[in-house]
Structure 1
Amino acid sequence: MGKVLGDVLGLAAGVAVSPLPVIALIIVLATPRGRVNGLVFTAGWLVGLSGLGAVMLVIGGQGSAGEHGQPADWVGALKLALGVALVLFAVRMWRHRPTDVTQARLPRWMAAIDGFPAVKIFLLALLLSAGNLKNAPLTIAAAASISASGLPAGQQIGALALFVVVASLGLLIPLGVYLVMRERAKGTLANWKEWAARHNIAVMAVLFFVFGLKLLGDGVGVLSS
């Protein structure tokens, strides 16, 4: 159980450090119904991560554990493929990062968030969690590690729940600041938003590269064992 949690928590930290979802949440919190919309956004995020992880657990099942308790070869191949994809994304993003961070621009779709109804806010969060180019591979890799552990179903669900909570800290912290401080939180959240907007691409590129290498190492280790 300890080894699984070590793998899972590292991947969860990678998901938690996601600038774009944080920026999106801060924009949502600034809407007229900020409290409700913020809770809806966070719920969509949690459902996205939980759903993707649960699907992976079902696909893997107990068959993910190979001989002598080692993960099955397909788990290693999956991590290897995800690692390659993340490294390639990292290189591409780094090459296209703005040389002057003051010129960094947010995606155009973010300008429309102010007018989103609750359903669209929920679906946006769902997409940013389960459909994100960094978060989805890391969530799949974490669920694959859990599935390959051979742990009882209850412990696997518990490990996935822990992953989701840790992976959501990047959103839960600003949401908590807003709920506690309300109007006083606007300045703090605005500063976080500005920093995240300026450094989003560089941060994502570094995270892609670091966790891509980790998954590559994990995949090679499984396939060579």
Structure 2
Amino acid sequence: MGQVLGDVLGLAAGVAVSPLPIIAVIIVLATPRGRLNGLVFAAGWVVGLSALGAVTLVIGGQGDAAVKGQPADWVGALKLALGPALVLLGVRLWRRRPADVTQAQLPKWMAALDRFTPVKTFLLALLLSAGNLKNAPLTIAAAITISSSGIPVGEQIGALAIFVLIASLGLLIPLGVYLVMGERAKNMLGNWREWAARHNTAVMAVLLFVFGLKLLGDGIGVLTS
């Protein structure tokens, strides 16, 4: 299990460093129902990643992702497809990043977060975790890596749980700071939100490019081994 954790922790870190979800949870925490909606947002995020990872584990198990203790060829082909797609998306985002970071604009839907009900907050977190163009491929890649490792099912579930925990730290840290410090955390969280808003596009572009290359290399390694 130790080896497979080493393979997926980097992917988990890539999911954790997600500027838009971090900005979203900080905005949610600043609303009148911040404590409740912040907890709901974190729950939706964890459920989204866990559900996507679990489905991938099941598919990997039924599709014989591991053959004689080694990843099957289709696992390598999947990573080979995901890798270049992430690289191209990263390059596209990098070219579209604002020349002046002070002019960076957030999505318009974020202006309505203070009016979101707990149900809408939960659904938003699901979308930002399991439906995100960066987080979904990285979660699928991590789960298929776990599934193709050949370790027992119980250890696969444990590895996925650790992946989800690490991948959620980007949200859990601001939430934890708010729950501990309360109103005193607003200035600190506001500074975090401002930095993330200004550098969102550049951070996303770099992460997509780096992890796309990693998946590309992993896919080539599987198919040529």
Q: 2:191 and 2:165 mapped to 1: Cα distance?
A: 24
Q: Which residue matches 1:83?
A: 83
Pairing 1:82-121 to 2, within 5 Å after superposition: 82-121=82-121
> Equivalences for 1:1-225 in 2 at 5 Å?
1-61=1-61, 63-67=64-68, 69-225=69-225
Q: In 1, distance between residues paired with 2:127 and 2:177?
A: 24
| TM-score for both structures, normalised by structure 2 | 0.98
SS at match of 2:105: coil
Structure 1: runs of 5+ lacking an equivalent = none
Instruction: Point out 4+ residue stretches in structure 1 off by more than 4 angstroms.
Output: none
Structure 1 residue 66: Cα displacement: 1.6
RMSD: 0.7
Please tell me the residue identity of whatever aligns with 2:65.
S
Listed one character per residue, the Cα deviations across residues 101-152 of structure 1 (whole Å, up to 9, x for unaligned) are 0000001111111111110000000000000000000000000000001111
1:92 corresponds to which letter in structure 2? R
Counterpart CA distance in 1 for 2:26 and 2:13 is 20
TM-score, normalising length: structure 1:
0.98
Q: 5+ unaligned residues in a row in structure 2: which ranges?
A: none
Shift of 1:93: 0.2
